[in-house]
Structures are given as C-alpha cells and as structure tokens.
Amino acid sequence: MSTIFSKIIAREIPADIVYEDDLVLAFRDIAPQAPVHVLIIPKKEIATVNDISIADEAALGRLFTVAAKIASDEGIAESGYRLIVNCNEDGGQEVFHLHMHILGGRRLGPMLAKR
Ligand code: AMP
C-alpha cells in the first residue's frame, strides 16, 4: 500500500529534499521536533521494520551512511544527534513506509518520554 512518501519520491507532492540517490531519498520533516529533523526513506516501499528482507540490506545500510552525511552537512555530527525508526502502533509509527528520523541541533533529553 503506497503512502504519502511514495508521492514525495514520485514528485507528486512537494518536499524539501536534501539528498537523493538510487536507493534512498531524504527530506525535511514537515513538523520538525528539533532544529534539524530529516527523514531518510528507502525508495522501495517497505511498510515497517517487520517487512524487511535480506534483499533490502543494501538500502537499509545506505540509510546509515546517508544519515552520517546529512549530519555532517547540517553541522550536527560533532554535537550529536539521534536516529529513530518507529515500528507499528506502540512504536508510534504514523506513515507506513519505513523511514529513519535524524534529529539534532539541540539537547534531545531522555531517549523516551516519562510515563
Ligand atoms: P513516524 O511517526 O515515525 O511514522 O513519523 C512520520 C513522520 O512523517 C512525522 O514526523 C511527520 O511529521 C512526517 N511527515 C508526514 N507527512 C510528511 C510530509 N508530507 N513531508 C514531510 N514529513 C512528513
């Protein structure tokens, strides 16, 4: 099932794209939670982490190399940042096209909200 992220890949809706190659696309989150908040997605439609297969390893590895490049480009590599991949309801996933959040530019606080 396609999501809004497939429409961004196809340029059917606008996005502030910061990086693209054959395997992945990165764009700024529309509702940023930190001064830097970028999403990196595989171009292949993978709904959740549960749907990953071995054939996806190259694209998923690319998410990390591109995350490091974007962190450097955005000037947060040394100050630090957080990479998040949410899965399904308890993980807080809202868009069912696998994506990695890059968050940085301020102290992000504890990893999880207090209950
Ligand atoms: P998640 O909760 O991990 O599924 O995160 C989905 C993220 O996608 C949220 O941070 C949204 O703000 C972001 N988002 C949803 N629609 C768009 C869009 N059209 N362009 C950029 N980011 C979006």
Domain range summary for the chain, segments of one domain joined by +: 4-104
Q: Ligand 1: distance of its center to the CA of 30 in Å?
A: 6
The stretch 44-56 carries a mean pLDDT of 98
Q: Which residues of 62-100 are buried (b: 16+ CB within 10 A; e: fewer)?
A: bbeebbeebbeebebeeeebeeeebeeeeeebeebbbbb
Is 73 a residue whose pLDDT tops 80? Answer: yes
Provide the mean pLDDT of the chain: 97
Predicted confidence at residue 1, as pLDDT, reads 75
Distances (CA, A) of 13 to 16, 48, 91, 110: 10, 22, 26, 34
Active-site amino acid positions: 99
pTM over 0.95: yes
Could you tell me if the CB of 93 is within 6 A of ligand 1? yes
C-alpha span between 82 and 112 (Å, rounded):
12
Predicted confidence at residue 114, as pLDDT, reads 77
The domain 4-104: what is its CATH number? 3.30.428.10
